[in-house]
Structure formats: C-alpha cells, structure tokens
Structure 1
Amino acid sequence: MAAQTIFRTLLDRPNIISSKYQAKQLHAQILKLEPSSPIHLSRLISIYSNFNLLHESLLLFNALHSPPVLAYKSIIRCYVANGLLVQSVALFLQMRASGTKPDHHVFPSLLKSCALLSDLKLGESIHGCIIRLGMDFDLYTCNALMNMYGKFQKAFAAMDSFSNKFRIESAHDQKVTLNQTRYIFPKTNANSTILDQCYRKRNCSDMVEVDRRGSLMDSVKKVFEKMLKRDVVSWNTVIAGNAENGKYEEALMLVREMGNDNLKPDSFTLSSVLPIFAEYVDLHKGKEIHGYAMRHGFDNDVFIGSSLVGMYAKCARVEDALQVFNILPQHDSISWNSIIAGCVQNGLFDEGLRFFHQMLKAKVKPVPVSFSSIMPACANLIALHLGKQLHGFIIRVGYDDNMFVSSSLVDMYAKCGYIKVARWIFDRMDVHDMVSWTAIIMGYALHGQACHVVSLFEQMEMEGVRPNYVSFVAVLTACSHAGMMNEAWRYFNSMTQNYGIVPGLEHYACMADLLGRAGKLDEAFELISSMHRPAEGIWLSLLSACRVHKNVDLAEKVAENIFEVDPENTGAYILLSNTYAAAQRWKDVARLQYLMRNKGIKKSPAFSWIEVKNKTPAFVSGDKSHL
C-alpha cells in the first residue's frame, strides 16, 4: 500500500523525477501495480516526453484505446523537441478527428511547429482554432502566437534577399497538404473561416505577399492587445518583433509602458533595444541602458554583454567594447563574435585576428558568423595564406555551404587577386543573396573587368535581386575604369528613378573620376559642386585629373575648395604643385613649396602591405627591415 502511495505521488508530481533511469523504474513499478490505468499511462507518457524519450512515449501512447488530451499534448511536445514537425501536426489533426478537445497546453508546441515549418497558412488556421475554442486569452498560448508571427516576419524579410525562384515551400515539401488541416475545424461547413481564407490566398501575387508580410506585426499587436494578463515574455516578444523589423520608436515606447503592468525590463529586453541605439549611433542612450544594466545586475549577463559590445563597436567606441568584453565572467561564441566583428568593422584587422585565435585557444567552436566576421580582415590585409587556412577550416567544420560564409570567401579571394577562385565559389552556391552578388561584382570591378561586372549586374536584376548602395558603387567603379560613359550615366540615373536609392559620396566620386579621366573637367566640377557637402577626396580626384590634363585654372579653383575645409591638406598642395610643374609654371611651384615649408607641411610616406612568411608587415620605399 505504501508503495502505491509513493508511485501515485511521483505520478502527480512528475518534476520529482530527475533522470531517465528513474522514469523507467517508475514505469516498471506501474506495470506491476496498475498496468492498464489510462491516467497513469498518460502521466508516464508526460514524464517520458520531458526527457525526449520518444520511443518509450509512443509505445505507451499506442497502447491507449482512447488517449486523453494529456497523452496527445505530451507526444506532440516530444515530436517537436525531436524535430518531427510534420508528425506533430498530423497527431493534432488525429486528435481533432477523434473528437478530443485540446487544452491550452497543446498549442505552444503546435505553433512552434508551424513557425519551424514556415507555414503561415497552417499557423493562421490553428490561430482560428484557438479563437473558436476560447483559448485566445491564455497567457502562454498568446505568447506562442506572438512568437510564431514574429518568426514569420523575419522569415519573409529574409526571403527578400533571395532570387524569386527560391521560396520557402513550408510543410508541403514534407508531404503535408492544407487539405488535411480541415480536420482542425471538423464540425463546420462555413466558408468564412480563416482556413478558407488561406485557400483563397494561396495564388496571390507577390504584391499581396508583401502586404501579408507587412501585416504580420499587426497580428502580433492584436494578440498582445487582447491579452488580459501579460508577463515579461509577452512584452519581450512584441518589443523584439518591433525592434527586429525596424520599428524602433514603437519598441522603445513599449519598454517604457512595461511599468504599467508592474514589470521591469530583463536581460532579454535590454538585448533587444541595444541594437536600436547602435543603428541610430546614439551613444548617450546606449550608455543609459548600460547604466541600467549595471544597477540591476545584468552587466555580467552574456547576452547583455554581447549586445553592449556590438552597440559600442557600431558607435566606433572600440575601447568601451573591449572593456565590456573583458569584464564578462565567461565568453561564449556570441560574445567572441561580437568583439571580433567590432574590431574588423572599425578597421582593427590585426586585433580581430588576435581575438579569433584566442577564441580557438579557449576551445569555443566557431559558428558561421565567426568566419563571415573574420574573413574581411584577411581580405583587407590581403592575407591570402591565412584566408586559405580559414577556408580549409570552414570545409572541415562543414560550413562551406553556408551562404554568408561563401559570400565572405568570394570577397576575400577577389580582394586577394584570385578572382577565378572567387567566381568558382560563387557559381557553386545554391542561393545568391545581395551580399554574394555584390561581392563578386565588386571583385570584378576591382580587377577592371567591366564586361563581367555589367553582365553580372544585369543577371542579378533579371533574377529579381534588387541592387543596393554597394552594388551600384561596384558597377560605377567598373564603368569609370573602363571609360563606359553612357552606361555609367544610365546606372547613376537608375538609382533614383528605378530603385529609390539616393546617390552617395562613393557614387559621385565614381562619376567625377569617370568625367575626369575623359577630360570633361568642367562637367565634373559642376557635378561635384551640385553635392550638398562634397568630401575632400572627390575634389582631390578632380585635382589629379586637372594635373593629367594640365588645366591650371580649374586646378586652382578646385584647390581653393579643398583649402576652405582643410587649409593644410598635404595631398592638395602636392597635386597643385605637380599641376604647375606639368604646365612648366616653375615660379608657382617654388611659391607653393615655400608656403608648404613655412606651414610645416610635409609629404607623408606611402606604405605598402605584402604577405611575407605568413605575416603582413607594412613597407615604405626602400624598406628592407622585414626581409
């Protein structure tokens, strides 16, 4: 009798079971005492599912003649935990067909399956089922709904970077059709259900699909606003959804409103809003969040620390990022990747490589973002040998098929002079996003192969990938070096007319360089003068063209514009002096050199980098110290 009491206590309080061995011991005792009790078997299934013991759970489930809802939800949860998403949906359909009414514990696992299957229509139909059953006010179900819609929003945003021929095919790739989901509403013949609306929308155009993507956050908001009770998870879900979709003001407003529910932001909340200040480069507000984290003991949290490192790095405060990184009690792959990316983004390539080596020594396994973060360091240092070593490492760990890693390899090999290898990697990629297209186009542009650049650019447009700011820099650079005047103007004008991209400094620089090379100096001067605030570099490019074409009068006007901004610009003095020399105006050369001496202006030595003995030292002319 005492034994029966003990085992019933264990069944009623399954959290006491702390190991798979104890669960199997309990199972053995139940078989001895009450082998045919559906209630006890269902509770045992729940215990097994807590340990992801799918085989044992299914054996018990199949032994039940009419499984109760506890058994169904336990198996569904176990299916999802083991990645058997289609089976979880199929079991839910079986439960509905059997007439068993689901409770609120069933839907969080099921909604997770919909998100992982990328099947929005299935998720919407289950949402309709939740509403019909009156469970749309349950806290955990609402949190799961918001999480699902938020993941669909991110998935659809990611699809914008793929070619039109690549689509997320959802659960239908795994032999589940929406016809089966009619069992979700087994007793209705109405044509106005969410499910029927999903059917009618299956053949919608891409424009309607874009509208659907825009409405996903509205779905999240509607679920959130209807909730009678909200916890921190609810607030974090909707805050993160807004932040990740660029709705920064809404995200910050929601953080302020958390206090109305007597809730305080936790580490997840802070890690969601910190990237906002990095995006806006708002260092002051970022520091306020840092102070809040310190006051509430979150500064040692690895997620907060990683977010702070990323925020400071994007605000060009690498020293602050390093300080935050160094005080973290432990470093995981996220924090390592944050500091590596921060160093590389701010031009500290050697520091980035040093941290990457330290990460390997700490036995932290690199993830794809680790390689895509460090590879630009090899590309900018022209460290081909190190880049090849990393490529070998990537192949060994099986990341060579990762789109972002492959794009970084294309960029590295192209900048290191191995354009054929870069093209080979590009061609073997299954999917090309904007990053990979831009990397290969820029690679050919740097190598002066304008025909390849134009061909790839047009191919990218035909495949439905919209050019971005950098891809236009690449194609204009190629046109400039090849003297393709008409094509350059066509691309330059199409930026605003066809794609709504406002030309920036780099685009104007390419056009000014092209006009300067062609001897159209007055047109170049007018183009630069039309800019809001032309940078010194563009004026210097035109000044160099004036030297080549011996246009002294225009050179003096250009130099005046430079000296207004930077009276001691060494490059401008030297180029103007060389222009005078090219026109044999030696008195002006002497006058300018005298002026430079009086101002203490000296020409800075030029450096070159070359890989020697697996290192990349800097050289000046005649330097033999590294040999």
Structure 2
Amino acid sequence: MGEKDVVTWNIMITHLSKQDDDMELARKLFDEMLERSVRSWTAMIAGYVQCGNSKEPIRMFTDMEAAGGTPNEVTVVAVLAACADLGTLDLGIAQDSFYKMKERTIVSWSAMIGGYAMHGQAEEALKLFSKMSCIVNEGCGFFSSMARDYEIIPQIEHYGCMVDLLSRSGLLQEAHEFIKNMSIKANGVMWGALGGCKVHKNVELAVEAIKHLLVLDPLNDGYYVVLSNVYADAWRWEDTARVRMLMRDQGVKKMPATNS
C-alpha cells in the first residue's frame, strides 16, 4: 500500500469499520498507521461497538489515553455505549469518561442517561435528565431577560453562546432558525457551533454550516477536512473526493496531523 496521509487512512478505516465482516481488515490498517488522529481511534472504537464487541472498545480507549490521545465526544459516546452493554460493573468507566468531558451535547447526556436507565438506576437517570433540561432552560431565560429586564442589547458573543447552547443540546433546527432570525450577521464562531451537528448525524445542516465557514475563511484546511469527514460518515464518497479535489484546486494544504 502506498504512502497515504492520515485523512485517507481514516476514510478507509471508517468505511471498513462500518461492516461487521471487515473489522479485521480495519484493525490491520489501523495497526499499520504510522500516526493516528482522534478520528482513527474513534472509528475503530465505534466499529467494535457496532459489531457487538464491547470489550475491545474499552481496551482501545485505554490504549488511546496511554498514547497521549485526547478523546472527543464521539469517542466518549462510543465508550459509554460499550460500558452500557457490558453491565453495571463497567458503569464506573462510563461515569468517569462522561464527567471528564469538558463539553457535552445531547448525545453524551443521552448515552449516560440511557446507561443508568438500562441498569436499573432510574433515580440517577432522572437526576441527570433534569440537570440537562435545566441548563437549556436557564440559558434561554438569561438571554431573554437581558433586553427585557436589564435593557442590555445582546452582542455577537451573546448570540454565539445561545447558538452553542442550542446546538449542544441537540436543538439543531432551533439553533439554525436562531441564526437566520438574528439582527446581526453570524460569524465563524456561530457557524462553527452549528457545525457540531455532525455529532448528531444531521449531514445537510452540518454541510451548510461548514460551507458558510469556508466562505468566511476559505484557506482554513480544518474546514475542508471536517466537510470531507461529514461526507465520509454518510458514505457519500463522491462528495468526499470532490472536497479533496477542491482543497487541492484552492491551493489549501493540510497541516500535519497530531495524536490529539
């Protein structure tokens, strides 16, 4: 196999890891990689979960941390799913992963709530659900009260916080409508927050957000990579290749990958 960059390897591994019969080949490619990104580890972890192997994701997650890798939310959600399948004995691993996360969205909240519920810890599940709901309600209440109660005109930073809150809570359409109805033009931070809908598998909305980001910053290699990954996750290989070609045509060079 010729030399390939990390993105190409990741696309191949992601494709193979979604097929139960190809997990062995996906692992072979993974082991041959000279450098790995968080996406490399996450594709393998999620693949093992999907094919019903709940122990291997835990091992790989441990290896990832030992190698200095920093898991993202998708990684942690996959590990939470594996822990839930293994039983209450491993729920502690799930709790540790969940509470170590710096930022959480509806996906990680739901995975943890489901883990509690699956193992008969209804009270803990309800507490966590209540906490999640309160965060959204309080955030919306604070934003509304700025102008109504304190005569403070919201600035771009305040709008950005609301978009981020709604997006992370899984309220993607609400976040999108919020952006469209704003009295000021959305900046890259807002579209970046909405771009997080990739985690929620809303491909079309993720693509729209990233395209807006490319207009604002056309030479940012990270946006092209994310867009390519969004298409790859949806098995839209022609679109994935088209993004890579566009990147070359625009003269955008991908920065070297890291293990984080």
Q: Give the TM-score of the pair, scaled to structure 2.
A: 0.47
Q: Which has the larger radius of gyration?
A: 1
